[in-house]
């Protein structure tokens, strides 16, 4: 999948060295308003393949493998959402890009809220796909820590079995088995240390729902109508709490709407960019 994305964009991924010593594997191509993509858990930049292909025609697109994922380095300890947001700010420093539209899916959305909090001057817009602003309940957080231990001991299989059935709409499972198989493969290839570190980081993440009404950056919140992890109804409520946000629901898509329904997602993103981001 990686190779196909790179070939379609006529660019190759490269390792970018950050000031904190990390090297992040990053795709960077196209020209125009810069769009920074942050992938979901436990995936890599290739989940954005359709957006990178389509949007690079008239935007600069930057998609990194977040710390530990894909071909990127990891650092010891939990992968906190603020630390990942800071990695991405350092990545922009290294690429000499002052401002971006930040597009994050699920865990990438948790990182986007932290990017808004810590690097607001770098943000021209927010695109949040299939994500939440609330923190984990204590029970969910405990479950993540238990899963982190299991993954360290047993490998990624228990996580894949628990998570894969919840990632897609019924239609995607029926009609796009290759998409499901590719995501299973990506999950199975993800380093177990990165999975565990991100589970710990997500379990500890802050509740940002009470901050939504202060996020006055132009925002698009986009949800698969059949998403059972980040329900569309919750995202609609989040968008209505934000001063300058629009909400778009994608029919017959689940938690990975950008992969399941790329045409519809790309249309929503392009309309938002054309109308709201100058
Ligand atoms: C993701 O897709 O990034 C995960 O579903 C996030 C989460 O587990 O909360």
Q: What is the pLDDT of residues 158-179, one digit of tens each?
A: 999 999 999 999 999 999 999 9
108 Cα nearest atom in ligand 1: 3
202 C-beta closer than 6 A to ligand 1: yes
Instruction: Name the nearest CA neighbour of 61 among 19, 25, 102, 15.
Output: 102
Residue 106 alpha carbon, nearest atom of ligand 1: 3
* pLDDT greater than 70 at residue 191: yes
**DSSP secondary structure of 120-171:** GGGEEEEEEES--SSPPPHHHHHHHHHHHHHHHHH-SHHHHHHHGGGTS-HH
**Residue 38 contacts residue 105 (beta carbons within 8 Å):** yes
CA 229 remoteness from chain centre: 14
Q: Residue 44: is its pLDDT beyond 90?
A: yes
- pLDDT, mean of residues 128-152: 98
Is the CB–ligand 1 distance for residue 79 below 6 Å?
A: no
Which atom of ligand 1 is least distant from the CA of 40? Answer: 3
The mean-pLDDT minimum among 6-10, 27-31, 168-172, 231-235 falls in 6-10
Asked if residue 5 has pLDDT above 90, the reply is no
Q: In what order do the strands lie in the sheet with 245-250?
A: 14-17, 23-29, 60-64, 34-38, 100-105, 123-129, 219-224, 245-250
Q: Give 105 Cα–ligand 1 centroid separation in angstroms.
A: 8
The stretch 104-131 carries a mean pLDDT of 98
> What are the pLDDT digits (tens) for 229-253?
999 999 999 999 999 999 999 999 9
Coil vs helix vs strand at 222: strand
Give yes or no for residue 180 CB within 6 A of ligand 1: no
Whether 1 has a pLDDT exceeding 60, the answer reads: no
**Ligand 1 in reach of 40 Cβ (< 6 A):** yes
Atom of ligand 1 nearest to the CA of 136: 9
pTM: 0.96
> Tokens in use for 29?
């191509």
pLDDT above 90 coverage of the chain, percent = 95
Alpha carbon nearest to ligand 1 atom 7, residue? 107
Cα(167) to ligand 1 centroid in Å equals 9
Burial-class residue 182 by CB neighbours within 10 Å (0-12, 13-18, 19+): middle
**Which of 39, 41, 204 for mutating ligand 1's site (highest number of atoms within 8 Å of CB)?**
41
The number of the ligand 1 atom at minimal distance from the alpha carbon of 255 is: 2
């Amino acid at each position: 999948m990686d190779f196909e994305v790179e070939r379609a964009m006529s660019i190759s991924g490269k390792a970018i060295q950050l000031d904190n010593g990390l090297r992040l594997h990053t795709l960077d191509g196209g020209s125009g308003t810069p769009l920074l993509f942050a992938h979901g858990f436990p995936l890599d930049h290739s989940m954005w393949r359709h957006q990178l292909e389509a949007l690079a025609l008239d935007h600069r697109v930057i998609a990194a493998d977040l710390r530990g994922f894909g071909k990127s380095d990891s650092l010891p300890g939990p992968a906190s959402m603020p630390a990942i947001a800071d990695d991405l700010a350092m990545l922009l420093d290294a690429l000499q890009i002052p401002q971006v539209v930040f597009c994050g899916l699920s865990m990438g959305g948790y990182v986007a809220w932290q990017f808004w909090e810590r690097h607001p001057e770098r943000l021209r817009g927010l695109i949040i796909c299939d994500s939440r602003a609330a923190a984990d309940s204590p029970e969910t957080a405990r479950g993540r820590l238990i899963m982190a231990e299991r993954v360290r001991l047993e490998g990624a299989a228990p996580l894949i079995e628990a998570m894969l059935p919840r990632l897609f709409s019924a239609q995607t499972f029926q009609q796009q088995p290759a998409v499901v198989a590719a995501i299973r493969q990506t999950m199975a290839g993800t380093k177990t240390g990165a999975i565990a570190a991100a589970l710990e980081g997500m379990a500890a993440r802050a509740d940002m729902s009470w901050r939504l009404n202060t996020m006055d950056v132009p925002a698009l919140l986009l949800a698969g109508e059949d998403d059972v992890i980040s329900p569309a109804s919750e995202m609609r409520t989040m968008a209505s709490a934000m001063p300058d946000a629009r909400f778009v629901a994608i029919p017959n898509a689940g938690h990975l709407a950008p992969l399941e329904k790329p045409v519809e997602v790309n249309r929503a993103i392009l309309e938002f960019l054309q109308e709201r981001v100058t």
